[in-house]
Amino acid sequence: MFETLQGRLSKVLKNLKGQGRLTEKNIQEALREVRLALLEADVNYRVVKDFILQVEKRAVGREVLESLSPGQQVIQVVHEELIRLIGGEGRGLELTHGKREILMLVGLQGSGKTTTAAKLASKLKRQGRSPLLVAADVYRPAAIRQLEVVGEKVGVPVFTMGTAKPEAIAKAAVKKAEQEGHDTVLLDTAGRLHIDEEMMQELVRVKSAVRPDHVILIADAMIGQDATSQAQEFNDKVGLSGVILTKLDGDARGGAALSIRHITGCPIYYAGVGEQLDALEVFHPKKMADRILGMGDVLTLVEKAQSAFDAEQAKAMQEKMRKETFNLEDFLAQIQSMKKMGSLSELVKMIPGMASNKMLAGMEVDDGELVRVEAIINSMTPEERHKPQIISSSRRKRICRGSGTTIADVNALIKQFTQMRKMMKVMAGGGGKKGPKTIDPTQLMMGKMKKKMKVRGKKRGRFF
């Protein structure tokens, strides 16, 4: 979503960093470019004005102009102010343990409110809470059925009362939650195609009926400036506790994410980053600022790795490497775990410095390479996966036919796997007095991928 903004800001800040001496004049010129970049990204003009004033106030001060590295100082100021603009600390939604809490989800039609309700319920369930989804949208065709379907997928019960009054549904749902021991009630309220007085009055009635602990706006990050005005309207009429941004994985310019927090004063709890019902991440302003300024996102990379790789499996894999029994079947399992982390192109962008790397800018990061490697290994017999050295010329031809690849592809995979296993053997058996080194095959694969990207530059090549 932030690719255009990231490119513009990276260019401006790089030019600023290259200046031998900073003056108020060249800082003003740089900030003018930053202002244009933010406005083009659909950031609200009031937000841009405040941001530029704060950066300018700090950037032209003595501590920056007289520092040994003024360009870097200005970049640090922009980074810190961007974090402040987006919201400072990111903690997600904090609920009180042992207390029943009511969450009222509001927003317009098409913002992803019903799907987000299920995502949030699933996340809270994984945190040990007992959520109850409530179908309070009685106007949109199939809204109730949609909530029942997604609720079933995440294993959370759904309370319905047909087309009764939304406030009556909300009250009955809270009573049902008390009877059945649910400590979290999520009200999926009705939206409209646009904000109108009738919708707002209905939301006010629902709020008065059950007195929710949190009123959360579900805002579509792809609609730009409109998201900001919608957030302001909902906050003025209903009173918001926080915001969840949806479709943050889209291709819009991202201005809503940078504007809503500043305009409403409400924190952004989560961000929807995909269609899957587990694609809801805590919104971290620092991580967002890092990515916008091309500083990578190591924290998210680590979180994805932790969720994709099982600790016991990793331990067993290390033992196999130590005993030199690591084979292509294990290699396939590692690739499949790695795919759970997301596409290679997205993972690469999280590596600090890689998003702004000139070689990477013109290079195609092909996720199809993993598919081809999987196809080749899947076309082998169990014996061939365990002992690739037995793969003769005739076997290679059979594997090619089964995987839809070439002899060169099969040869390259076997050669690279053999080299990797030798490297693992050396690292697992080495270490001198300190003993064997601990090695994660995924780290080795990522390292080989990054090394090949540096060597090949703009050429398209394999990563393993």
CATH of residue 334: 1.10.260.30
Mean pLDDT lowest among 19-23, 40-44, 194-198, 213-217: 19-23
Could you tell me the residue range of the domain that residue 74 belongs to?
3-86
Claim to verify: residue 307 and residue 386 sit in the same structural domain: yes
pLDDT at 449 over 60: no
Query: With helix as H, strand as E and coil as C, how does the chain read?
Result: CCHHHHHHHHHHHHHHHCCCCCCHHHHHHHHHHHHHHHHHCCCCHHHHHHHHHHHHHHHCCHHHHCCCCHHHHHHHHHHHHHHHHHCCCCCCCCCCCCCCEEEEEECCCCCCHHHHHHHHHHHHHHCCCCEEEEEECCCCCCHHHHHHHHHHHHCCCEECCCCCCHHHHHHHHHHHHHHHCCCEEEEEECCCCCCCHHHHHHHHHHHHHHCCCEEEEEEEHHHCHHHHHHHHHHHHHCCCCEEEEECCCCCCCCHHHHHHHHHHCCCEEEEECCCCCCCEEECCHHHHHHHHCCCCCHHHHHHHHHHHCCHHHHHHHHHHHHCCCCCHHHHHHHHHHHHHCCCHHHHHHCCCCCCCCHHHHCCCCCCHHHHHHHHHHHCCCHHHHHCHHHCCHHHHHHHHHHHCCCHHHHHHHHHHHHHHHHHHHHHHHCCHHHCCCCCCHHHHHHHHHHHHHHHHCCCCCCCC
317 part of a folded domain: yes
Dist. CA 18–CA 237, nearest whole Å:
49
43 part of a folded domain: yes
pLDDT at 97 over 70: yes
Claim to verify: residue 266 and residue 311 sit in the same structural domain: no
267 part of a folded domain: yes
Claim to verify: residue 186 and residue 326 sit in the same structural domain: no
Claim to verify: residue 274 and residue 332 sit in the same structural domain: no
pLDDT of residue 154: 93
Listed ranges 10-19, 31-40, 207-216; the one with the highest mean pLDDT? 207-216
pLDDT of residue 306: 53
Mean pLDDT lowest among 168-172, 339-343, 368-372, 398-402: 339-343
CATH of residue 61: 1.20.120.140
295 part of a folded domain: no
Q: How confident is the model at residue 345 (pLDDT cuts 50, 70, 90)?
A: low
Q: What is the pLDDT of residues 120-171, one digit of tens each?
A: 999 999 999 999 999 999 888 889 999 999 999 999 999 999 889 999 999 9
Q: Which residue among 224, 255, 285 closes a domain?
A: 285
Q: What is the pLDDT of residues 405-448, one digit of tens each?
A: 999 989 988 888 888 777 776 665 544 444 444 445 545 444 55
Claim to verify: residue 249 and residue 316 sit in the same structural domain: no
Answer whether 0.75 is exceeded by the pTM. Answer: no
Better pLDDT: 275 or 214: 214
Q: What is the pLDDT of residues 195-240, one digit of tens each?
A: 888 888 999 999 999 999 999 999 887 776 777 788 888 999 899 9
**What integer is the mean pLDDT of 347-356?**
52
Better pLDDT: 253 or 222: 222
Q: Which residue among 86, 113, 131 closes a domain?
A: 86
Number of independent structural domains in the chain: 3
Claim to verify: residue 76 and residue 108 sit in the same structural domain: no
Q: What is the pLDDT of residues 290-307, one digit of tens each?
A: 767 765 444 455 555 555
Claim to verify: residue 54 and residue 153 sit in the same structural domain: no
pLDDT at 398 over 60: yes
Claim to verify: residue 241 and residue 371 sit in the same structural domain: no
